[in-house]
Homo-oligomer: A and B are copies of this chain.
Amino acid sequence: MCMEFNLQQTDTKSAARAGLLQTDHGQIETPIFMPVGTAGTVKGVHFKELEKDIKAQIILGNTYHLYLRPGTNIIEQAGGLHKFIGWDKPILTDSGGYQVYSLTDIRKLKESGVTFQSHIDGSKHEFTPEKVIDIQRSIGADIIMAFDECTPYPCDYDYAKNSLGITHRWLKRCISHFEQTEPKYGFSQSFFPIVQGSTYTDLRNISAEFIAGQGADGNAIGGLSVGEPHEMMYEMTELVCNILPEDKPRYLMGVGTPANILESIALGVDMFDCVMPTRNGRNGMLFTSEGIINIKNKKWENDFSAIDPFGESFVDQQYSKAYVRHLFSAKEMLGGIIGSIHNLGFYLWLIAQARKHILEGDFATWKNVMVKKVSNRL
């Protein structure tokens, strides 16, 4: 385990931190948002746009999806995911625990692992902690995640407690297998365990203590943003952040809206991922520094101003609101492409601003203003 994380600044009025995370594929400035490239592509976006326009520093891949298609055999032949997709910056792979539960109809969880049927062709597969580590070795992400059970919301206490036991036992098996195996492509891989425990304070406490004790390069918080009220999500995040080691990056999985991200930075989170900017972008919801635009709305029909005059990506200046509305109205794919690039560019801009304000020492004040602005419906 050799990924380096250096804290540069911690905010005095919140738990927000700015840091630098060093991987063999380059440095990541935290806090950071990671665009989601589930099946080896951030939907509708070229990698050169991710790098140059959106200014992404790390992207996400998904073990479940990549294992089923194209399969580890093809990825290994290509020399790993970086080479297969043509992206030379860091990649993190989600372990597939979440997808096995959200995408497959027929699955069975046992102590040994999970058997499930592919959502693509119904074929039968088994994921065990060891196998998921092997797959992530083959994919070759810079950061690989533990295999866990992501509990739904609501989740009754007994289920959450039993599930947490399995997640922790699986974690020990993941770590043991991770330590017994080697990276395949000449660069190092780091392993992040995941805190679970649903919305129960005592379970989250137990889990955070257990995870903190593993000495991993970084630590993740899972099982949130699955339908629970925002205040409950913040409460759990705060509780967990207070226990997880200060000198390691903290990754809040699957979160969230621009406001969620700003609030969670204030609680001490360093890394985020979410499909929202691309999924909502494809559906015409644009996040901007002044608030949220539903570009399909008739009010934009003859608004020929730029979709975001303060945006830094090329789509922000090039296309007008009226034109993008027309694209959505005519169901033209360029609409979703523009929405995705704009939203990702906005997320990366917002988080870079957060980092700047942490470094400058006025994060908390700035955050309180921005949370209101970015939540505003235009």
Q: Please, which residue of chain B has its CB at the minimum distance from the CB of A336? A: B333
A65 to B332, CA, bound (A): 12
Interface check A214, CB cutoff 8 A: no
Q: Is the CB of A332 within 8 A of B302?
A: no
Q: Is the interface of A mostly helix, strand, loop or mixed?
A: helix
In the complex, how many angstroms separate the beta carbon of A231 from the nearest chain B beta carbon? 36
Q: Is the CB of A326 within 8 A of B69?
A: yes
Give the most central of A41, A65, A85: most B CB within 10 Å.
A41
Contact with B along A39-72 (1 / 0, CB 8 A): 1110111111000000000000000010001100
In the complex, how many angstroms separate the beta carbon of A336 from the nearest chain B beta carbon? 7
Q: Is the CB of B69 within 8 A of A329?
A: yes
Which B residues are CB-close (under 8 A) to A320? Answer: 78, 84, 86
Q: Is the CB of B322 within 8 A of A44?
A: no
Q: Kindly identify which residue among B44, B78, B314, B334 contacts A334, using a CB–CB cutoff of 8 Å.
A: B44
Q: Please, which residue of chain B has its CB at the minimum distance from the CB of A327? A: B41
Q: Kindly identify which residue among B39, B70, B86 contacts A318, using a CB–CB cutoff of 8 Å.
A: B86
Q: Is the CB of A41 within 8 A of B86?
A: no
Contact with B along A260-285 (1 / 0, CB 8 A): 00000000000000000000000000
Interface check A77, CB cutoff 8 A: yes
A327 to B84, CA, bound (A): 11
Q: Is the CB of A47 within 8 A of B77?
A: no
A74 to B323, CA, bound (A): 10
Q: Is the CB of B334 within 8 A of A41?
A: yes
Contact with B along A307-330 (1 / 0, CB 8 A): 000000011001110110011011
Q: Is the CB of B48 within 8 A of A318?
A: yes
Q: Is the CB of A70 within 8 A of B322?
A: yes
23 A-B residue pairs with Cβ-Cβ distance under 8 Å, sorted by A, are A39-B326, A39-B330, A39-B332, A41-B332, A41-B334, A43-B334, A44-B337, A46-B314, A46-B315, A46-B318, A47-B318, A48-B314, A48-B318, A69-B329, A69-B330, A70-B301, A70-B326, A74-B326, A77-B304, A78-B323, A84-B323, A85-B323, A86-B323
In the complex, how many angstroms separate the beta carbon of A42 from the nearest chain B beta carbon? 8
A357 to B84, CA, bound (A): 37
Q: Please, which residue of chain B has its CB at the minimum distance from the CB of A68? A: B330
Q: Is the CB of B77 within 8 A of A302?
A: yes
Which B residues are CB-close (under 8 A) to A65? Answer: 330
